[in-house]
Amino acid sequence: MKTTAEKELVYLRNDCLVIECEVNVIKETLEIDLPPSDLLDNLATLLEGKKGADVTFKVQGEVFPAHKNLLAMRSTVFDAEFYGPMADKGAQDITIDDMQPAVFKAFLHFIYTDSLPSMDDLEDDDKREMFKHLLVAADKYAMGRMKMICEGMLCKCLDVETVATILALADQHHGSNLKDACIEFMFSSNKMDDVIASQGYLHLKRSFPGLFVEMVERSVKSPKI
């Protein structure tokens, strides 16, 4: 057996220092930098350029050409309208009476690109109004994800003045997430007096008495309320 002193000398042989090296050869990968996906830009350009449009929406005097196949692939309501058993297969003019042109424009933008256009130029109140209208449109045309985006944006701007009106809207247009958020906001803000004093509250009380039953029952279940 070797002694400890001898073991320590294992790298020193015949008066030479033995150095152990580990060499890693890094193979240079030949990679090509890809540009980002251009599909969404292509879809936005299709909407703007109107090429191949086969349906025209008339919204309070403004005209919006669009593509039936894209509308139908995004909304079961448009699908039934254009390809259902009652559909008129030819080119079509559709009049939209219940939406403002700016709202319809944003709605089309979402259908084509899955995102809403920038609203940075709008005041907070106008932005809230826009999201309220878009929520109604999303509900009408069965655009589930768009509705959830609108609900999320409205959640972020709840205040005591507007929460009652938004609760009524959420109830009418099946925005269950927004409804829950409104009720939670009303109780957790400790400002129920201000909510009761708001304009929307009177309308809520008169037109949506069923919601108050829901609120009371939730207040029993939830420890927060």
Nearer to a second copy, 22 or 31 (CB): 31
Residue 146: in which H helix or E strand, if any? helix 144-156
Least separation, in Å, of the C-beta of 107 and a second copy? 15
Pair 56, 93: CB distance under 8 Å: yes
Question: Distance between CA atoms of 4 and 147, rounded to whole angstroms?
Answer: 76
SS3 84: coil
Cα 15 to chain center, whole Å? 74
Pair 41, 109: CB distance under 8 Å: no
Nearer to a second copy, 100 or 177 (CB): 177
Least separation, in Å, of the C-beta of 39 and a second copy? 4
Q: Mask 102-141, x = binds a second copy (CB under 8 A)? A: -----------xx---------------------------
Closest CA to 112 of 102, 104, 121, 120: 104
Stretch that binds a second copy, among 34-42, 56-64, 124-132, 209-217 (CB under 8 A): 34-42
CB-neighbour burial class of residue 187 (10 A; exposed 0-12, middle 13-18, buried 19+): middle
Q: Is 72 in the site for a second copy (CB under 8 A)?
A: yes
CB proximity list for 133: less than 8 A, separation 6 or greater: 99, 100, 103
Q: Is 79 in the site for a second copy (CB under 8 A)?
A: yes
Nearer to a second copy, 39 or 220 (CB): 39
Q: Is 161 in the site for a second copy (CB under 8 A)?
A: no
Q: Is 45 in the site for a second copy (CB under 8 A)?
A: yes
* Residues found near a second copy in the complex (CB under 8 A): 28-32, 34-35, 37-40, 42-43, 45-46, 51-52, 67-70, 72-74, 79, 82-83, 113-114, 144-145, 148-149, 151-152, 155-156, 158, 177-178, 181, 184-185, 188
